[in-house]
Structure formats: C-alpha cells, structure tokens
Amino acid sequence: MKILTMVLLVLLTVLPLVSALDFNETMTEEDKEKFDAILEPVMKIYNFVKYAATAIAVLLLVFAGVSFITSGGNQGKRENSKMMIMYVLVGLIVIWVAPLIVELIVG
C-alpha cells in the first residue's frame, strides 16, 4: 500500500510538469551543442559500465558453465547454474539493447 501511495504521489507531482512541456519545439544549434556537451560524459560512463558488466558477465557465464558441467547428478546445482546463465544473458540483453530502445522512442 505504501508503494502505491508513493507512485501516485510521484505521478501527481510529475504529470503537471510533463504536461507543461512543448515536445514539438525545435532545438537550436546552440541548444544541441549544450545537450551534446552534457551527454558526452554520461555516455562515457555508460560505455564503461556496459563493457565492465560484459566482462564480468563472461566470467560469470564461464563459472556457471563449469558449475553446470561439474554438477554431476545434483539437480539443485544444475538448476542454479541454469538460472545463473539465464539471468546473466537477460542482463546483457538489457544493457546492450537499452540505448537502441531509447533511440527508437526518442528518434
């Protein structure tokens, strides 16, 4: 119930602000340059996190694969390995596809 109340409070706070925005307004070249200057360090951080997460994911996939292979007849260990592989792959998909979805929505 607390979560629902907080969501409603946020919506009631944010919706008037969003409705006041004019999304059909075109950006000037100066505004685009300012936006790009702000976005550049954000994209550098995002790319660093994306590649670091990918490297960690590869290590986790190797660990989960070895764990799956060495599980023998232990069904619990096998299921844990399968779930780890699935979660790592879903995480990678989210990290790599997020910019494409944002570009699709914005562009």
Asked whether 54 and 68 are in contact (CB, 8 A), the reply is: no
Check: pTM over 0.75? Answer yes or no. no
- Of 19, 20, 21, 37, residue with least CA distance to 29: 37
Residue spans per domain, the chain: 36-107
Sign of CA dihedral 13, 14, 16, 20: positive
Amino acid at 100: L
Residue-wise pLDDT tens digits, 6-63? 777 777 776 676 666 666 677 788 888 888 888 899 889 999 999 999 999 999 999 9
Q: What local confidence, expressed as pLDDT, does residue 32 receive?
A: 85
Residue 90's closest CA among 61, 49, 59, 51?
Answer: 61
What pLDDT was estimated at residue 26? 78
Provide the pLDDT for residue 29: 86
Per-residue confidence (pLDDT) for residue 73, from 0 to 100: 84
Average pLDDT over residues 69-93: 93
